[in-house]
Amino acid sequence: MSWLTIFTSFVVLSSLIIADDPCRYVHPTKGVMDLTSLGRTDGQPAYPDKLSPIESGYKYSYNPCKPFTEQPNCIGVAVCQISMDGKLSFTLGTQDTTKWDPGAGLGISPSVSYSAGEKLVTVILQCATDDTNELEALGEPSINNYRFILTNKCACWDGCATTPTTTTTTTTTTLPPPPPQRNCSINDSVYSSDKQIIQSFPFHVSINPSQPQPSPSSSSYALVDMYGRVIELIIFPNLTDFYSNWKKDLGHHGVHVRLSTELTEVIKRDKQGVRVKLKFRKTHYTAVETAISKTKHAIFTIYKWQSSIFSGTDEHTLETVEEFEELVLCVLPDQAKILLGKTARWIDKFLLC
C-alpha cells in the first residue's frame, strides 16, 4: 500500500470520526436521542420558512436527519437562510457536520449543531410530553451564530428511540402551550416573566435587538422567547466605558482617581497624617471569554478583563512617598496586615486576625 493510499484512507477515516450521526445519538447513561421520524426524505424541509422575532429580513428552514434543497443556493443542506422575497438563500449548516451535545449538568437541555464555513447553527432540543412539534427560530443573536429551539417528544431521551424509517412526516404549526406562570417578587414588586424583570433594570438592556450583535458584544442585550423567557443575556459587556464614565463623574466632584497605582507600604500613621509608598504599574487589558453557561432556557456568555503587568526599570516603576490626612483600606484582611506592617496597632491586629 502506497503512502498516498494510506494518507487518503486516514483523511476519510478522520472525517467519519469527526462527524456525528445526523439522525441518532446514543448516550451511555441518558439514553437515545432519535430525530429520524422528524426529518423529511423527499428533499423538502420539515420546518420551512420559520420567522425570527429578532429579525425581519430573513426566514429559516430546517430538516433533521436528511438533507434538503431550497433554491437558489441551498443544495443538500440541513439549515437554510432565505430572504423574504425568496431570491437569496444561504447555507447555514449541512448534515455531515452534525455535532451532538448531551447537555452537561442539571437542567441543561441537549442540543445538536451544524456548520458551514464560519457559520454555526445550534438547535436546542426541548422535550415535550404532548404532541407538540414546533421549531422556534431565534435568528442570529451574534454574528455567524444561529439558534433554534426544537420542541417535540423526540427531543426527549428515549422519546422516539425506534429503528430509523423512511416515513415522511408532515409537521404541524401548533404553537407549544405557554409554560405555567410563576410570579417572582423583588423589592415588593411582582414580575411574571424574565422579560419584565429585565425591563425593570436601572440601566438599558436591548431586548431582541434587530441587528446581530458582535462577539464579544459592545452593549447589553437579551433574547427572549414568545413567553418572555430568557434565551441569551449579555450584561455589562464593556465595563471599561462604565468605569471611565464613573471616573469622570467623580472628577467633576473633586475626587482624584488614580489608575494603575499600587500602594506598596504604609510608612507612618499618627495624628499628623499618613505617609505611604506608591508605585505606578503599567497594565494591559484584554477581554477573554471565561465561560458559557447553559440552562434550560438561557445561554450566558461571561467575559472578564485579563490583565498583564509589565515590569521595567524606567522612572514609572519607581516608588514615591506621599502624605495624606486619612487612609481607608478596602482590601482583604491578610493584605491589609501586610500593607500596615509595623504601623499596625494592637486593635488593627485584633480586628484583622
Residue 233 phi, psi (nearest 5): -140, 120
The x, y and z cell numbers of residue 22, run together, are 445526523
Contact 230, 198 (CB under 8 A): yes
More confident residue, 227 or 92: 92
Q: Record the pTM.
A: 0.46
The answer, yes or no, to whether residue 78 has pLDDT greater than 50, is: yes
The answer, yes or no, to whether residue 339 has pLDDT greater than 60, is: yes
Q: Give the pLDDT of residue 151.
A: 92
Residue 175 banded pLDDT, cuts 50, 70, 90 = low
Q: Residue range 210-216: average pLDDT?
A: 64
More confident residue, 163 or 24: 24
Q: Give the pLDDT of residue 196.
A: 86
Residue 20 banded pLDDT, cuts 50, 70, 90 = confident
Residue 233 banded pLDDT, cuts 50, 70, 90 = confident
Q: Give the pLDDT of residue 174.
A: 55
Q: Residue range 250-258: average pLDDT?
A: 85
pLDDT tens for each residue of 87-138:
888 999 999 999 999 887 655 788 999 999 999 999 999 888 888 899 999 8
d(Cα 115, Cα 137) in Å, to the nearest integer? 16
The answer, yes or no, to whether residue 4 has pLDDT greater than 70, is: no
d(Cα 52, Cα 80) in Å, to the nearest integer? 13
110 contacts: CB under 8 Å, gap ≥ 6: 25, 33, 100, 101, 102, 103, 125, 155, 157
The x, y and z cell numbers of residue 128, run together, are 415535550
The answer, yes or no, to whether residue 67 has pLDDT greater than 90, is: yes
Q: Give the pLDDT of residue 128.
A: 87
Element (H, E) at 145: strand 145-152
Residue 29 banded pLDDT, cuts 50, 70, 90 = confident
How buried is residue 21: exposed, middle or buried, by Cβ count under 10 Å (0-12/13-18/19+)?
middle
Q: Give the pLDDT of residue 210.
A: 67
Residue count of the chain: 353
The x, y and z cell numbers of residue 40, run together, are 423529511
Q: Residue range 300-311: average pLDDT?
A: 44
Nearest CA-CA partner of 40 in 2, 60, 9, 68:
68
Contact 133, 174 (CB under 8 A): yes
More confident residue, 4 or 336: 336
d(Cα 35, Cα 26) in Å, to the nearest integer? 12
The answer, yes or no, to whether residue 303 has pLDDT greater than 70, is: no
Contact 39, 23 (CB under 8 A): yes
d(Cα 248, Cα 41) in Å, to the nearest integer? 63
DSSP, res 353 = -
Q: Give the pLDDT of residue 246.
A: 83
Nearest CA-CA partner of 339 in 272, 280, 267:
267
Q: Which of 206-210, 237-241, 246-250 has the least mean pLDDT?
A: 237-241
Domains of the chain from N-terminus onward: 11-155 (2.70.130.10), 184-234 (no CATH), 239-351 (no CATH)
The pLDDT mean for the chain works out to 77
Look-up: residue for cell 497624617? Answer: 273
d(Cα 211, Cα 296) in Å, to the nearest integer? 25
Q: Give the pLDDT of residue 257.
A: 84
Identity of the highest mean pLDDT range in 100-109, 146-155, 298-307 = 146-155
More confident residue, 268 or 14: 268
d(Cα 16, Cα 131) in Å, to the nearest integer? 34
Q: Give the pLDDT of residue 13.
A: 35
More confident residue, 200 or 179: 200
Residue 178 banded pLDDT, cuts 50, 70, 90 = low
